[in-house]
Amino acid sequence: MLQRWVALMRNKIFMKLKTTITILALSTLTLFASGVYAQDSTAKANANTQENLNRERMDDAKSDNRDAKAKAREARRVGKEADYAAKTSKNALKAEKKAQKARKNATKQSKKADDARTKSDNN
């Protein structure tokens, strides 16, 4: 009877141990699965974050490109205006030189005319 009781107790202990090990195994498996799921969701979040960063960087690069093109257009416009102003100034200088030369010639002719009149009056 004692042997039977010991066998029964061993069987109960074995069943408790088996149940405990099963529970621990299931708990560990659940924790492991949730860890893998958390890593997967973290990886997806990191991928989404990286995609957002890439998109923002691309938008910034495109914006910088548009700004650079606008500045280049403005620089060309300013350059054209400067060229036009230089050409106008050069033409004005030429016109002033011609006018000075014409005034100088007019002064010479006037002096010659005065000299001729004076000679004519003396004769």
pTM of the predicted model as reported, rounded to 2 decimal places: 0.45
pLDDT of res. 86: 93
DSSP-assigned letters across all residues of 47-97: HHHHHHHHHHHHHHHHHHHHHHHHHHHHHHHHHHHHHHHHHHHHHHHHHHH
* Dihedral (Cα; 81, 87, 92, 96), 10-degree rounding: 150
| Domain spans, the chain | 1-102
pLDDT digits (tens, 9 = 90+) for 31-89: 777 766 666 666 677 778 888 889 999 999 999 999 999 999 999 999 999 999 999 99
Tell me which residue of 99, 98, 79 sits closest to 87, measured CA to CA: 79
Copy the structure tokens of residue 89. 């100034």
Q: What is the largest CA-CA distance in the chain?
A: 180
Bigger pLDDT: 101 vs 119: 101
pLDDT of res. 37: 64
As a residue count, the chain comes to 123
Q: How far apart are the first and last CA of the chain?
A: 180
